[in-house]
Amino acid sequence: MESPGSGVSCNQFARGNPKDEHPSRVESPSNYFQESDTSKTDEKGDENQTGTELREVSISSFSHFPGFPRLILPRHDFHANQTYARSFFPSGHGYPLCQPNTVARVSQDFKQNRGICIGDVGILTRRTEFVFMFNIFLPADHRYNKDRTPDSFYPLDPLKDSEICTSVDYFPRGSVVTSKGIKVTRHSEDPLHLTFESSEPQGSFLILPEGATRQNISTNTTRVRDYVAHNAVKWASFFANNPDYAVANGATYVVTGVDKTSICSMLTFPHHPSLTKMSAEYRAGRLTALEDMSVAYNEDKGESATHVPNNLCVFLRGIRVGLGRAEWLENVDERKERFEPYTEVFIGKPRQCFLKRKFKFGLRTKCVQYRTFSTHPFHLSDTVSQIMLNMSPDASLVLLDDSIWYIFSQEISESQTEGSLTFSALRGASFDDFGVMLDMIFGLFNVVETQGM
């Protein structure tokens, strides 16, 4: 996949096949998912990664794994951040952040000059905000990490320049990224003047007046993945047992890629009557909704700023860490049912079949026994992780990389007119749409289990 913009310093989308040095775990995409037409090829790793055998596995039904969020029908009114994340997810660029900086209590220097970076470890809040906890490349006593790391924490050697893939202006100046079905009219480029309308039931869009730079850890670098695998159980237990967070299984997020900018505007709109249309205008550096249902945000440099780096993260990508059944039950304190995590899925009609081809996945439609329950942010990887664990029920953990979703941003690139500055998702955010996406993931890739060393 080629980047929409320019300045690619290395091939950040190449797929490798590094061998696994840790038994009893399943991984994605480089270990766990392999492209279907190459999965049976005998690929060689480097001289330190030999002797690994990959076994293809399959499944015919789906069962819930302890600690992972369950899917339920909506029980709350429209929440802008949740809709933003859900409607933008099919774009394939990574996890969309309606709040492009961490909501953790960190120094102003962190927020104003650094922002979310590669190597950050944290979780997503129920409002889909990223909570920074620590960075794997900084010592425990660093001002960003102090009093935040698990007791067993030790830092990883910082990445070399050759291990980071940077695409300057991956999204060029004036780019607009939208969910499916949003019409963008460009009235002028300098100054930037845009209008928007849509009849879709829900959606979002993002304006990047100064573009955005993309950074990813190179796929040729495996030491970060190995380091995460070595510490995964400890970190997942640390977050799950922390009373301030008590996160769901699969919630631990290790950032491996970011799209960052210094200024952006975004809008999201909820389910609405069929006769109502979303309407908005961007003019003079401000985005304004022209109806009452939409919520618009503007993140700017501030009047006093002289030089502002790319501190706002609009899309993040990372490794999601999930524990197998035995590891979760052994390492995480038992929870009352009302604290079990749930993710709300917005659909027109309840469906009982989630995947058409291989998997059956039930949607909980009955009311939860307790009025209050633990709302979990939407992330389709939570479902993929459980499917993978169903395929390998004795695995101790699952590491799921957001790069498996790149295929959906590739669809966008292939459908675009050359030079276009509007990047529109081709898939919606309905229950059926997500079912098709999962069907594609498991149809395009063979799932394999790494056995021992």
- Which of the residue ranges 47-61, 178-192, 322-336, 389-403 would you say has the lowest mean pLDDT? 47-61
Residue 116's CB is within 10 A of a number of other CB atoms, namely 25
What does each C-alpha distance from 339 to 73, 333, 364 come to in angstroms? Answer: 17, 12, 16
- DSSP state at residue 308: -
In a domain, 441, yes or no: yes
Q: pLDDT: is 134 or 305 the higher one? A: 134
User: For the segment 210-245, what is each residue's pLDDT rounded down to a tens digit?
Assistant: 999 999 999 999 999 999 999 999 999 999 888 777
Distances 185 to 105, 193, 423 between C-alpha atoms, Å:
39, 9, 13
- Write the pLDDT tens digit of every residue in 47-67: 344 334 445 555 556 788 989
Angle between helices 431-444 and 381-391 (to 10 degrees): 50
**CA-based nearest residue to 97, from 112, 110, 81:** 81
Instruction: Catalogue the E-assigned strands of 86-163.
Output: 95-96, 120-124, 130-135
In a domain, 178, yes or no: no
Q: What type of residue sits at position 48? A: N
Looking at the domain assignment, is residue 333 inside a domain? Answer: yes
pLDDT tens string 252-285: 999 999 999 999 999 999 876 666 789 999 999 9
The number of distinct structural domains making up the chain is: 1
Q: Are 299 and 83 in contact (CB under 8 A)?
A: no
Backbone φ, ψ for residue 231 (5° rounding): -105, 0
Q: Tell me the C-alpha distance between 300 and 315, whole Å.
A: 17
Q: Is 135's pLDDT higher than 60?
A: yes
Segment 364-383 shows an average pLDDT of 65
Query: Phi first, then psi: what are they for 91, rounded to 5°?
Result: -70, -20
Q: What is the pLDDT of residue 103?
A: 76
Q: In this model, does residue 393 exceed pLDDT 90?
A: no
Structural domain range at position 69: 25-168+217-257+313-451
Q: Averaged over 160-184, what is the pLDDT?
A: 95
Task: Note whether residue 174 is domain-resident.
Answer: no
User: Is the pLDDT at 32 greater than 90, yes or no?
Assistant: no
How many Å apart are CA 254 and CA 321, to the nearest integer?
8
Nearest to 432 by CA among 341, 352, 365: 352
- Could you tell me how far CA 451 lies from the centroid of its own chain? 27
Lowest pLDDT segment from 181-190, 201-210, 408-417? 408-417
Picking from 397, 324, 351, 361, the residue whose alpha carbon sits closest to that of residue 59 is 361
- Per the prediction, the chain carries an average pLDDT of 79
Asked, for residue 420, whether it belongs to a domain, the answer is yes
| In-domain check, residue 288 | no
Rounded percentage of the chain residues whose pLDDT exceeds 70: 73
Ramachandran angles phi, psi of 81, nearest 5°: -65, -40
Q: How far is CA 181 from CA 85, 197, 206, 424, 429, in A?
A: 16, 9, 14, 8, 11
Residue 439 lies in a domain: yes
**183: pLDDT confidence band, cut at 50, 70 and 90?**
very high
Q: Is the pLDDT of residue 406 over 70?
A: yes
Kindly indicate the confidence band of residue 1, based on its pLDDT and cuts at 50, 70 and 90. very low
Q: Could you tell me if residue 234 is inside a domain?
A: yes
145 CB burial (10 A radius; 0-12, 13-18, 19+): buried
| Strand pairing category for 312-323 and 252-261 | antiparallel
Tokens of 262: 């210094």
Q: Give SS3 for 231.
A: helix
For the chain, how are helix, strand and coil distributed in percent, rounded to 5? 20, 30, 50
Which phi and psi angles does 24 have, rounded to 5°? 60, 45
